[in-house]
Structure 1
Amino acid sequence: MSLSSLLWAFWYILPAYFANASPVLVGGGRPIDGGRYWKDGRRVFGDGKTWRGLIGGVAIGTAVGALQYFITPEFYGSLGKALLLAFLLSFGALFGDLVGSFFKRRIDLPRGSPAIGLDQLGFLISALAFAYPVKTLDSGQIIFLLVVSPFVHWGANYFAYKMGWKSVPW
């Protein structure tokens, strides 16, 4: 696996990274679950998953993909494909985060509690699955992202914590 191939994998996943990180800045407002409870008596997702965070995160991730297209159009082939891929990566990342929140509520983890593995990889796996029909990576690139993404996630969360955007560093 060449360094170039690994860098392209990182370039590919950037919309998902930005989408996953941006609800901290653009979120708030009405919860996606509308305050509803699941059969177990716990919130479906909780107050931390909002429509504004979802829509804003997808928009930011998609905008990152558009910017990427103008920097490296050969990677995508067309602006339409770049926007579709960025949208799918972004929505997929936030969908994976929602699924993670759902499972965290089922095991009674409060909002903001860490779930090692789920927090760092759920968004990534979902993003890759959503984007698969449009453009995919080879197995080596996927393994690289599975290894590096937890460190990117932890670093981004720590940075957001130090900036005062998050109340916890994970």
Structure 2
Amino acid sequence: MAPLISQPSLWPALALCALPAVIAGCLHMAVVRLDLCPWLARPLDGGRCWRGARIFGDNKTWRGLVAMILFSILGCYALAGLMALAPGLAPYNVLDFSTHGAPFYGLLYGLGYSLFELPNSFLKRRRDIRPGQAGALPHILLDQADSVLGCLLLLYPFSRMDFAFVMTGVVAFTALHLAVNYLLYLCKLRAVPL
């Protein structure tokens, strides 16, 4: 696929690219809030500690990893369906569903989102910030930007993204992530607003 050329196409492309992650994130929070699949709500770190502190904490679970992958796949099917129903949106789609299907892209979204949160969780445990707490402003921003960066980095080699798209995406999607988290808080699907 050729990279995006026209700057006016950047914002609609960003909106379409965000769709699978927004769908996955909202559905994941519903699963957590309703405590679905509690048998999967086990910490990824298995409760292990390193130098007297948990590695990632209780909030990074197998349920979250599995849910984000499955719901991201669902979100990618939704995006692919939207592309089929509205072919006029094709110039704004950065993903090549004809070469790599929705499950492939969904796996990248889910892994990028979940795995890139782990280093920040590790750092927060070292700074004695409890799981679920945001901490200072730098941690709040990193909390929102880490998964965004993870998704974009994993998608980049298999997409029409260029450097401007990725850089704009990090800023725009971090702001979107903050807004969606606040909306989920207002809907009582999230315990804290940020």
Structure 1's 18 and 137: CA in aligned 2 closer, same or farther, altered over 3 A? same
Whole-Å Cα distance in 1 between the matches of residues 125 and 154 of structure 2?
24
1:43 is aligned to 2:54: yes
- What aligned pairs does 1:51-70 form with structure 2 within 5 A after superposition? 51-70=62-81
Preserved contact between residue 185 and residue 192 of structure 2 (Cα < 8 Å): yes
Match of 1:151 in 2: 175
Residues 108-149 of structure 1 show CA distances to partners (whole Å, capped at 9, x for unaligned) of 111122213211211111112222332251122122212212
Range with greater deviation from structure 2 (8-17 or 72-81): 72-81
Preserved contact between residue 20 and residue 106 of structure 2 (Cα < 8 Å): yes
Unaligned runs of 5+ in 1: none
Preserved contact between residue 148 and residue 174 of structure 2 (Cα < 8 Å): no
Identity %: 30
Offset of 1:5 from its aligned partner?
2.4
Unaligned runs of 5+ in 2: 1-5, 33-37, 85-89
Bigger Rg, structure 1 or 2: 2
- What aligned pairs does 1:64-83 form with structure 2 within 5 A after superposition? 64-73=75-84, 74=90, 75=93, 76-78=96-98, 80-83=100-103
Offset of 1:13 from its aligned partner?
3.3
Match of 1:111 in 2: 131
Preserved contact between residue 25 and residue 165 of structure 1 (Cα < 8 Å): yes
Structure 1's 145 and 119: CA in aligned 2 closer, same or farther, altered over 3 A? same
State how many pairs are aligned.
169
Range with greater deviation from structure 2 (70-79 or 94-103): 70-79
Secondary structure of the corresponding residue to residue 179 of structure 2: helix
RMSD (CA atoms): 2.1
Preserved contact between residue 65 and residue 110 of structure 2 (Cα < 8 Å): no
Whole-Å Cα distance in 1 between the matches of residues 49 and 54 of structure 2?
4
